């Protein structure tokens, strides 16, 4: 038997790479025992920046969610790990040192074992303090190399950074191939270089599947000494996410590695429950293109984890650009036209901004600059005329040293605006603030929570936390969800009046998931009776079957509690995917 390879399930990252929202705490509690039953995971990713902000955005306490998800894994000895952004902690902009230090104490108390510390610039001054803080708090600091492909990102460049991070106390290194554009052979050689010099260091590989290189990259890093591989699973694997654990296991087993077996019954249950979460509400915010791979990503290097937010941003700018084009009697752009233009513009601006690896938050900065460039040029304005303050901080050196050289045009623009460049320690620009947040907590009568976790949430996500406490976040989310549901109905051919009537009746459609023949029963010896008007259904309860052309019987379940108010199909009727089978009027009841 060959060398042992372990698997880590990046359950949180599957959602971030697919859409806008994350599962609720009750959903995480439901799926965790089944993930454990799969028996193949040594580690599970349980939280990180987007995870906690999203909890706040829909009015849920992120501390409760983290404790809920980590406990089952803690109880059986599966390690849990989080993702943190070094200087930026769990948010998109820098965090004071006292808040960073508190973060590791809180997360360790909540049951998180490992913190994956990264800096989008691979700036060791932003990572080394977090290694120290994590060690002090009892966590395992996994220092991270953000992988990209550029003339300045050589094996020596990365290996030298790894040396410094290991010397600072990191027992593990993660190769974070966030866009999946790391070339397989390059990644193998980098893994070998680190392992040959530091044989006891654990190396974990994290690679998104967007451009299609991830499976080859996994094989190369394993052949050269990697210990742990991040994987995903259906129905959310592949596309802009990660390879499925089944495929990774098969490939590595065939290559002679010692890999864990997978309990396929549990796999199928996790797969089904994850689909339940998608059907419940999360799917309303998942862009279908995030299920697709695209070689176009090789040129622009944008990461899988930001695709959901990027498509949302793109739609907003899309309408604005088309309004401008229409006013000039020019041809309007499709969303695909604009997407290609955005990829091309990112490829243009990225080297001129010094090749910052495109990972949070720098991927957003570069993407935002490229997107604003497109908008400004559509207006007849010049590039670089709309750069936000956080992006300027990156350009000026306040976030750390850029890997490459800035374009003279960008340097000149900074000087024209009176901005100054700096090589000072980035943390120096962000003084301690915990006392200010303690004062706010006291004035509002807010409890600091166990291990000061509520104080931490306010200090880390102050705007979102205030909206969560006031109830505004939940109201905003409910409005967002209703708008998404209305948009889905409109896409299925309903006009405004029909949508209005359904909202008034609180009735929602049961949709055919596949093309085929409606069957109320599959047992030919049993009477096949449709549900009756007024019949109650609970979430997940069988509604009917669809006999597909592929000779399968696909179950159609109700997604919510309610009563049948209209049946739109008959026994044996042929339907297309997306057709309305019936309407259920939502109810709050306990059967």
- Asked if residue 350 has pLDDT above 60, the reply is yes
E-strand stretches of 456-520: 507-511, 516-519
Higher pLDDT among residues 12 and 126, named by residue? 126
Quick one: tokens of 484? 């998404």
- Would you state the pLDDT for residue 503? 61
Asked whether residue 38 falls in the same domain as residue 168, the answer is yes
Q: What DSSP assignment string belongs to 70-103? A: HHHHHHHT-EEEEEE-GGGTTSSS---HHHHHHH
Say if CB 219 and CB 184 are below 8 A apart. yes
Whether residue 54 is contained in a domain is answered as yes
Asked whether residue 117 falls in the same domain as residue 34, the answer is yes
Chain segment 503-535, per-residue pLDDT in tens: 666 677 788 878 888 887 765 444 456 777 778
Spatial separation of the C-alpha atoms in residues 332 and 271, rounded to whole Å: 40
- Would you state the pLDDT for residue 590? 35
Asked whether residue 145 falls in the same domain as residue 266, the answer is yes
Q: Averaged over 193-208, what is the pLDDT?
A: 98
Spatial separation of the C-alpha atoms in residues 166 and 168, rounded to whole Å: 5
- Asked if residue 549 has pLDDT above 80, the reply is no
Asked whether residue 59 falls in the same domain as residue 143, the answer is yes
CA angle in degrees (0–180, nearest 5) for 373-379-383: 25
The total number of structural domains that make up the chain: 3
Per-residue confidence band for 589, with pLDDT thresholds at 50, 70 and 90: very low
State the average pLDDT for the chain.
Answer: 89
- Would you state the pLDDT for residue 305? 56
- Count CB-CB contacts under 10 A for residue 432: 12
The domain of 318 spans: 297-428
Say if CB 57 and CB 477 are below 8 A apart. yes
Question: pTM for the complete prediction?
Answer: 0.80
First to last CA, the chain: 53
- Would you state the pLDDT for residue 228? 98
- Would you state the pLDDT for residue 491? 77
Chain segment 174-189, per-residue pLDDT in tens: 999 998 999 999 999 9
Asked whether residue 313 falls in the same domain as residue 253, the answer is no
Asked whether residue 306 falls in the same domain as residue 214, the answer is no
Quick one: tokens of 440? 């706010």
Last residue of a domain, one of 409, 428, 447: 428
Distance of CA 514 to the CA centre of its chain: 27
- Judged by average pLDDT, the poorest of 47-61, 350-364, 369-383, 542-556 is 542-556
Spatial separation of the C-alpha atoms in residues 524 and 21, rounded to whole Å: 42
H helix or E strand, kind and range, residue 487: helix 472-491
255 CB-contact burial (10 Å; exposed 0-12 / middle 13-18 / buried 19+): middle
Q: Averaged over 69-95, what is the pLDDT?
A: 95
Share of the chain above pLDDT 90, in %: 58
Asked whether residue 323 falls in the same domain as residue 360, the answer is yes
Chain segment 92-147, per-residue pLDDT in tens: 889 999 999 999 999 999 999 999 999 989 999 999 999 999 999 999 999 999 99
Asked whether residue 280 falls in the same domain as residue 306, the answer is no
Asked whether residue 236 falls in the same domain as residue 321, the answer is no
- Would you state the pLDDT for residue 517? 87
Spatial separation of the C-alpha atoms in residues 177 and 246, rounded to whole Å: 20
- Asked if residue 440 has pLDDT above 80, the reply is yes
Residue that the structure tokens 């070094």 belong to? 86
Spatial separation of the C-alpha atoms in residues 126 and 164, rounded to whole Å: 12
- Would you state the pLDDT for residue 505? 62
């Amino acid at each position: 038997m060959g060398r042992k390879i372990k698997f880590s399930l990046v359950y949180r990252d599957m959602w971030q790479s697919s859409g806008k929202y994350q599962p609720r705490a009750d959903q995480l509690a439901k799926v965790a025992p089944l993930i454990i039953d799969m028996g193949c995971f040594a580690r599970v990713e349980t939280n990180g920046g987007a995870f906690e902000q999203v909890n706040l955005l829909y009015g849920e306490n992120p501390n409760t969610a983290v404790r809920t998800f980590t406990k089952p894994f803690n109880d059986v000895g599966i390690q849990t790990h989080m993702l943190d952004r070094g200087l930026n902690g769990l948010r998109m902009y820098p965090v004071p040192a006292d808040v960073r230090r508190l973060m590791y104490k809180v997360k360790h108390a909540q049951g998180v074992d490992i913190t994956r510390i990264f800096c989008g610039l691979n700036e060791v001054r932003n990572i080394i303090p977090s290694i120290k803080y994590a060690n002090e708090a009892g966590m395992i600091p996994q220092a991270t190399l953000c992988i990209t492909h550029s003339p300045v990102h050589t094996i020596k460049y990365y290996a030298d950074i790894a040396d410094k991070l290991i010397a600072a106390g990191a027992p593990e290194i993660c190769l974070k191939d966030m866009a999946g554009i790391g070339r397989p052979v390059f990644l193998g050689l980098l893994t070998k270089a680190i392992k040959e010099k530091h044989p006891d260091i654990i190396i974990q590989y994290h690679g998104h599947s967007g451009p299609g290189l991830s499976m080859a990259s996994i094989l190369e890093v394993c052949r050269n000494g990697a210990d742990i591989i991040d994987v995903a699973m259906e129905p959310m694997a592949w596309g802009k996410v990660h390879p499925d654990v089944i495929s990774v296991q098969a490939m590595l087993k065939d290559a002679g590695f010692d890999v864990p077996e997978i309990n396929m019954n549990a796999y199928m249950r996790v797969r089904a429950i994850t689909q339940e979460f998608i059907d419940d509400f999360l799917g309303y915010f998942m862009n279908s293109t995030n299920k697709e791979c695209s070689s176009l990503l090789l040129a622009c290097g944008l990461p899988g984890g930001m695709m959901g937010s990027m498509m949302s941003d793109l739609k907003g700018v899309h309408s604005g650009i088309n309004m401008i084009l229409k006013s000039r009697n020019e041809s309007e752009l499709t969303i695909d036209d604009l997407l290609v233009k955005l990829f091309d513009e990112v490829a243009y601006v990225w080297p001129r901004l010094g090749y910052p690896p495109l990972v949070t938050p720098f991927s957003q900065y570069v993407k935002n600059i490229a997107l604003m460039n497109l908008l400004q040029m559509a207006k007849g304005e010049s590039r670089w005329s709309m750069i936000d303050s956080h992006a300027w901080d990156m350009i000026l050196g306040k976030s750390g040293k850029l890997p490459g050289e800035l374009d003279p045009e960008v340097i000149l623009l900074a000087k024209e605006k009176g901005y100054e460049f700096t090589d000072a320690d980035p943390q120096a620009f962000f003084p301690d603030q915990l006392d200010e947040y303690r004062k706010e907590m006291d004035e509002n009568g807010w409890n600091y929570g166990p291990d000061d976790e509520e104080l931490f949430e306010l200090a880390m996500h102050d705007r979102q936390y205030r909206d969560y406490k006031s109830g505004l976040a939940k109201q905003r989310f409910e409005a967002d969800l209703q708008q998404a549901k209305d948009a889905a109905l409109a896409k299925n051919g309903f006009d405004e009046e029909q949508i209005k009537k359904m909202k008034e009746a609180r009735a929602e459609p049961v949709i055919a998931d596949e093309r085929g023949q409606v069957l109320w029963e599959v047992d030919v010896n049993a009477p096949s009776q449709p549900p009756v008007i007024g019949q109650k259904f609970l979430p997940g309860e069988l509604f009917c079957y669809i006999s597909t052309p592929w000779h399968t019987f696909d179950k159609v379940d109700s997604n919510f509690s309610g009563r049948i108010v209209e049946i739109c199909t008959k026994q044996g009727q042929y339907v297309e995917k997306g057709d309305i089978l019936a309407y259920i009027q939502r109810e709050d009841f306990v059967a």
